[in-house]
Amino acid sequence: MPESQQSELVQLLQAEWGLQLTGQVSEEVILAELERRVLAIADKNPEAFFQLMYRLDVPEQKVKAVLFEPDAAMQIARLIYRRQLQKIEARKAFNNAAEDVEDDLKW
């Protein structure tokens, strides 16, 4: 993953999940921190957890599919991680498309 994309991902996760990540971190470190937060939030306030999943646009059927698995928290952490990457990529693609349109309209 490009460093800029990882940096953006870390910033998103810090803002939305309160993760304490510093410097260049690996996917495994990010997932471990996400897993820890998923467990904490789900145990403390399940309703808030599901609201957060909805707000992040993590598909409910995917969350429900892994909810009762032995490693549910890690699987949910992976869903969150992937969804955040998708958002970053979509934002970048949209911005690039908007720039192309603007270039076409230049005199």
In a domain, 20, yes or no: yes
Instruction: Report d(CA 84, CA 8) in Å as an integer.
Output: 10
Cα four-point dihedral sign 99, 103, 104, 107: positive
Instruction: Report d(CA 2, CA 39) in Å as an integer.
Output: 29
Q: Taking Cα atoms as reference points, which of 38, 26, 28 lies closest to residue 69?
A: 38
Task: Note down the domain range covering 13.
Answer: 3-100
pLDDT tens-place string over residues 13-53: 888 888 888 777 889 999 999 999 999 999 999 999 999 99
pLDDT tens-place string over residues 53-104: 999 899 999 999 999 999 999 999 999 999 999 988 888 887 776 566 566 6
> CA gyration radius for the chain?
16
**Angle between helix 3-17 and 72-105 (nearest 10):** 120
**Predicted pLDDT at 78:** 96
Dig out the tokens for 96 from the structure: 């690039």
- What global pTM score does this model have? 0.80
In a domain, 107, yes or no: no
In a domain, 25, yes or no: yes
Give the number of domains in the chain: 1
